[in-house]
Structure 1
Amino acid sequence: MIRNRIIPLCIVVAVMMALVSVSLAQEAEKININKASAAELAQLKRIGPKLSERIVEYREKHGPFERPEDIMQVKGIGPKTFELNKDRITTE
C-alpha cells in the first residue's frame, strides 16, 4: 500500500526537479551580443525578430559593442529593455 504511493510521488518529484533545472539553465545562459545571431538575440525579453535584426545591423555598421549598456544605442532598446536583460547579456 505504501509502496503504491511512494513510486508516483518519486516520479512527480523527479519531473519537478527536471523542470526547475532546465529553467535555471536557460536563465543562466548568457548571450554575447557581439556574436549572437538574430535568432539568439530574439530570445531576450522584449526583443522580437525585427529588433534582433536591428541589433545585428547596428553591430555590422558600427562594430562590436564595448559594454552591455551600449545595446541601448540601438533604436528601440531603452533602459527598460536593458534592465530586463542585463543579467543575460555580455560582450565577451
Structure 2
Amino acid sequence: MRKLALSSLLFALLTGFSVATPAAVETTAPEPAVTHAKAAATAPATDRVNLNTADSDTLEKGLVGIGGVKARAIVDYREAHGAFTSVDELLEVKGIGTATLEKNRERLTLD
C-alpha cells in the first residue's frame, strides 16, 4: 500500500512537470545586417570614377576602401607618372593592393 501511494505521488509530480513545461518554439534567426562597407562593396557601380581626372575627394567618395590618404596618393602618382594607361596600374600606388583594386574594378574608368 505504501508503495502504491508513493508511486501515485511520484506519477502526479512528474505529470505536473511535463504539463508545466512549455513546448519549444522554433524561431528563425533574422538576416544579419549588412554593413555600409559591405553593401557598398557588393552594390553595382552606377557612377564610374575616372582615374585620370578625379580629384582626391571624388576618389575617396566613389571608391571602397579608399580614404583621404590613399586618394591623395593616387592623385600624386598620376601627377608624377602621367595618366593611367590601365586600371591595373593602380597597383603601383603605395597602399593599394589587389583586394582594393578588385573591390573597385567595376567602379573605375580611364575615359
Structure 1 and Structure 2 fold alike (TM over 0.5): yes
- Structure with higher RCO (Cα < 8 A, 6+ apart): 1
Q: Which has the higher helix share?
A: 1
Offset of 1:27 from its aligned partner? 2.8
In the aligned structure 1, how far is the partner of 2:95 from the partner of 2:60?
Answer: 13
TM-score (normalizing by structure 1): 0.70
For residue 39 of structure 1, the aligned residue among 39, 42, 57 is 57
In the aligned structure 1, how far is the partner of 2:97 from the partner of 2:67?
Answer: 14
User: Could you list the runs of 5+ residues in structure 1 that have no partner in the other structure?
Assistant: 1-22
Q: Which has the larger radius of gyration?
A: 2
User: Could you list the runs of 5+ residues in structure 2 that have no partner in the other structure?
Assistant: 1-39
Partner deviation per Cα, 1:4-62 (whole Å, 9 max, x = no partner): xxxxxxxxxxxxxxxxxxx9xx8311000000000000021000001000100000000
CA RMSD of aligned residues (A): 1.6
Aligned residues: 68
TM-score (normalizing by structure 2): 0.58
